[in-house]
Chain A
Amino acid sequence: MSQLENKQFDSKITRRDLIKLFGATAVAGTGIFGASQQAYAKSAAHVVVLGGGVGGATLAKYLRFADPDVKITIIEQYPEYITCLRSNDVIIGMHTLDELTFNLDTIKNKYNVNVVIDTVIGADFDKKTVRTAKGDTFSYDKLVVSPGIDFRFEDYEGYDATLAEGAFPHAYKAGPQTLELRRQLLALPQGGTAIIATPQNPFRCPPGPYERASFFAEYFKEHNPTAKLLVLDPKDRFTKDVPFKKAWERLYGYKSDNSLIEWVSGSEGGRVLRLDAKNMTVETEGGSYKADLINIIPNQRAGKLAQIIGLTDSSGWCPIQRDTMESALHKEVYVLGDSSIADEMPKSGYSANSQAKVCAQAIADALKGNAPGKAIYSNVCYSLAGQNYGVSIAAIYEVRDGRIVAKGKSAGVSPITDKPAQPILEAVYQKNWQREFVKDVFS
């Protein structure tokens, strides 16, 4: 063993060293940056990433671009990841869950990343270690946390995680609940009533509940034309509400007597207070509604892991340094994606991917002792108001006065025009985007 602790291992490994260690064949064709693909220098910094979803996987890939030598470990709870994005498609049969299921094999093999399937149960920010359920301890130089969201069931009397796993799926993390909601939609009696209750701001995928509502209406139009969808909303506005409502008018008779969708705003008493599971009734600030299908998408906060290890503030979300995504509460710890407080950026997969790239460059710069470059973020959310009718919102972001805000005049939603090509092309692009996006994250 003493030979393996020889001092030469503490210096940066050169191509020549590698040939000595592994033989020429193993090293052939690895090119000028090949060393890092074979072995790490012992002195290489270690970046530990908690969560192998959109934020974590993107971070690992782009950190490898920014630093060929750093040691990267992802600790992820599940061997496979189902993207929440496009999981509304599964409810109406446009996608299967399998098509939305990804693993970290390419991240591991192509980008030389350690992948550990385990659950993190604690972190020591002074010793710079994390502990896992299987009893392992990992030391880090930089820790990146991308834990997604958690639900505030306590905001609704009579609703809880057990009911969500059973007859009242929120289906706002993709998985068995998504399939259960699909089953319920297909089983809705002719002329039945469905309820979608939307969360208060901020929450994951701001257009998600309204896209889901659109899909319900589109499904009714074809298969259950006398059914009705009630959208109960604690808010008076929602993202892309102008193009969404225009689409509902065009496609589902919105605002007419025969509308397939009715939207109850916060001012009209749309906030849900209580679920009466036994009587299939929800109580809102405005009254009681009985339905055959009740889909409450609960209010949210940062993922459980962020709460457990102490990265959240009193808002329930994680405050960050806007130019690097470093936690405002703990140095050398970074928070990505839905859990972070990113001001004007929505909690979307695209945002998590964008933030991961900024964070990857910031970590690489910090490890090399370079000053951070100027941060630039982006987000594009394509949503479907029908299978062939897309609406979008897009913006480029920069940090100004300590906040992440739209840059230039970039922020905007789909214009309302009389040209059918706009929404049709947006729907085409949405589908292209989904295929491309997951490749940028996982391939």
Chain B
Amino acid sequence: MKLRNLILSAGFLAMAQNASAEIMASGSAMAWQCAPCHGTNGQEFVEAMPPLAGMPAKQFIDAMIAYREGTRPAIIMDRVARGFTDEEIKAMAYWFEKQPVKQWENTSLNEALEADATARSTGGQQ
């Protein structure tokens, strides 16, 4: 992509994010709420709940919508997913996709901050 187009699309993205900020929480704010079960930033790879860090966005979106619509069997995720709109699910998906695929305890603060910055700068551009 040419630099000019990149800047333009980044500008539109920023506008879109500003417009939606009034009606929904940010991707990271929502993603943080998943941490008690799925690990800080979705980086829990040794427990029964699936890790969310690095999950392809489409896989996350399809799973959440299926839970919400009751087409995928669940223990509690059906109840959780019913709290989110399509747009909110997408925002979380794009944020998680950019998180490091490694156990949280082995991730430095800087890696986490950089992954968050990357996710914020590219969020919604899928």
Contact = CB atoms under 8 A, between A and B. Distances in A.
Interface of A: 30-34, 37, 61-62, 64-65, 68, 110-112, 350, 353-354, 357-358, 361, 373-378, 380, 392, 394-397, 406-412, 414, 422, 425-426, 428-429, 432-433, 435-437, 439-440, 443
B36 A437 contact: yes
13 contacts: A31-B114, A33-B110, A353-B36, A376-B25, A380-B76, A408-B85, A411-B79, A429-B75, A429-B76, A436-B37, A436-B38, A439-B104, A443-B40
Contacts of B48: 428-429, 432
Given A32-B114, A111-B109, A357-B29, A380 B75 contact: no
Question: Which 8 A-B residue pairings sit nearest by Cβ, starting from the closest?
Answer: A396-B83, A410-B83, A31-B110, A376-B25, A432-B47, A412-B79, A378-B33, A409-B82
Contact of A433 (B23, B36, B79, B84): B36
B105 A374 contact: no
A396 B109 contact: no
A280 to B, nearest CB: 40
A375 B21 CA distance: 11
Given A33-B109, A350-B36, A374-B21, 13 more contacts: A37-B110, A110-B109, A358-B29, A361-B26, A373-B25, A373-B29, A376-B30, A378-B83, A394-B79, A408-B83, A410-B80, A429-B48, A437-B37
A375 to B, nearest CB: 7
Contacts of A33: 109-110, 113-114
B39 interface: yes
* Residue in B38, B44, B80 whose Cβ sees the most chain A Cβ within 10 Å: B80
B24 A374 contact: yes
Nearest to A441: B36
Contacts of B112: 65
A105 to B, nearest CB: 13
Given A34-B110, A64-B109, A380-B76, A354 B33 contact: yes
Interface of A is mostly: mixed
Nearest to B47: A432
A425 B49 CA distance: 11
Given A436-B47, A440-B40, A396 B116 contact: no
Given A373-B21, A432-B48, A425 B75 contact: yes
Interface in B35-66: 35-40, 44, 47-49
A436 B76 contact: no
